[in-house]
Amino acid sequence: MERNDAASNTESTRRDVLKYGGAIAGSGLFAGCLGDAESGPTGGETDDGGADATATDARTETDARTETDARTDAPEGEPYTVSMPPVGEVEFAAVPETWAANNGSWADMGIALGQAPPEAVYLASRYHTHYYDEIPGVSVDASDMTSLWESELSVEEFLALSEDVDMFVMDPNFLVGRTKNWSQEDIDRITSTGTPFFGNSIFSRGYGWHDYDYLSLYEAFEKLAAVFQRRERYEAFETLHEEFQERVAEIVPPADDRPSVAIMWPQPIDEPTAFSPYLIDEGTSFKQWRDLGVEDAFATTDVRDFHSDRSRIDYETLLDVDPDMLLLRGNEDKTAAEFQDTVVAFMEDHPVASSLTAVENGAVHRGGPLYQGPITNLVVTERAASQTYGVDEELFDRQRVADIVNGTAE
């Protein structure tokens, strides 16, 4: 259906007001010593699978409410600013409506706030929207969502996208740090269009170029809520999360009874013969394992974290460590049964892997996503509690989550 001229002009005016009011205050704000491109599971390569696509019509089932829901921070129609390291103070003349996100952490925050999904993400294959199947009345169709990484990052694609989105919810230093082809000048070209960057790389704390403040999941969530003017939804999630944390703490046994775990990315995914190790840090991608108090099997060994030197280990090294549990990333598109029938079955038949304690005891599991926001954290933490401690009860109220997302929570 074609849009009439009046509607088109209204949208153009609103976007121009937002763009020209959205300049980043100050100069030289993208702090950080940016390194060369890195390869591996957390790079731009499609280790996680998934098809890249073009524009998206992905919508949540809450959009109708979103457009009329009261905004809660700045007086309507007045400019407001929100601070985010490393970009500093970002001014918004109007609440952003369309956006692109770095990853599933930020995308999930937007969904939790009742927003429409982002038009694009860094890698659509790693935005695991099937977690929303747990929440009644909340869904996202990401099948046609644009992946900003294909064979490489394209400055031209960002410039074109800046005509369609009101902000890039991503850390500009991540973009420069992940490829040899980008520079600060490219970031400046993009921001000069009036579409600001607003983000911080929170999922890992292993990047050498990230020499500015990190944020916790809920610190980042609060800042995005300020941008979208959804303070009430944020506070409702914050309360629910605090109650959830109390329930999780109740099921965690004494330290001596907690398992040692090895979190790794298998290479290749289905029939692994080597692994990229992840040491548990304060990044948001390890939140569920920190909250469950597991022991990092690599922490007291010579095994180096993947982020530090792109390291890999083989089965012989893994057998020397011999963790109680193996948590394998990159398998979030599989069901538990599919994971057992592929990865676990291969390891059970492998001459060395079959001798691992975790394989013998049936303690090889999907290791959780690289990226998690407030909704997905609830889902994957509950799953991790089942994997780790055999908890078979629901640890959070699904309908309450849906009500917060829909703006109908009491």
User: pLDDT tens digits for 304-359?
Assistant: 888 767 789 999 999 999 999 999 999 999 999 999 999 999 999 999 999 999 99
Q: Which residues contact 391 (CB under 8 A, 6 or more apart)?
A: 251, 382, 385
313 vs 37: CA distance, rounded Å:
21
pLDDT of residue 74: 65
Beta bridge partners of 24: 90
Q: What is 5-230's CATH superfamily? A: Nitrogenase molybdenum iron protein domain (3.40.50.1980)
Q: Which residue has the tokens 């890999």?
A: 312
Extract the tokens encoding 92: 């918004």
> For residue 22, what pLDDT is reported?
42
Which pLDDT does position 239 carry in this prediction? Answer: 98
Q: What is the pLDDT of residue 308?
A: 67
Domain definitions of the chain by residue range: 5-230, 241-406
Q: Model pTM?
A: 0.84
Instruction: Give the three-state DSSP class for 309.
Output: helix
For the beta sheet containing 167-169, the strands, ordered from the edge strand earlier in sequence to the opposite edge, are 146-147, 120-121, 99-101, 167-169
What is the mean pLDDT for each group of 10 consecutive residues in the chain (410 residues)? 39 42 40 38 39 33 39 72 97 96 96 97 92 96 88 88 96 90 94 96 90 97 98 98 98 96 96 96 96 96 80 94 97 96 98 98 96 97 97 97 93
Which amino acid, residue 230? Answer: R
Whether 5-230 and 241-406 share one fold: the answer is yes
Tell me the three state secondary structure of residue 370: coil
Distance from C-alpha of 393 to C-alpha of 374, rounded to nearest angstrom: 20
Q: Tell me what pLDDT residue 150 has.
A: 75
The CATH class that applies to domain 241-406 reads alpha beta
The angle at the Cα of 119, spanning 118 to 125, to the nearest 5 degrees, equals 80
Which DSSP string do the residues of 228-251 spell out, in sequence order?
Answer: HT-HHHHHHHHHHHHHHHHHHHHH
Break the chain down into helix, strand, coil percent, rounded to 5.
40, 10, 50
Query: What does the pLDDT read at residue 305?
Result: 80
Instruction: Give the containing element (helix H, strand E) for 307.
Output: helix 306-309
323/262 Cα distance (integer angstroms): 6
Q: How far is CA 77 from CA 7, 81, 203, 261, in A?
A: 19, 13, 34, 51
Distance CA(348)–CA(340), nearest Å, equals: 10
Q: What is the pLDDT of residue 143?
A: 87
The residue among 11, 12, 21, 15 whose CA lies nearest residue 80 is: 21
Read off the pLDDT of residues 246-263 as tens digits, 9 standing for 90 and up: 999 999 999 999 999 999
* Residue the block writes with tokens 């009046």: 6
**310 neighbors 405 (Cβ within 8 angstroms):** no
Classified as helix, coil or strand, 222 is helix
3-state secondary structure of 278: strand
pLDDT of residue 75: 63
Cα distance between residue 159 and residue 300, in whole Å: 46
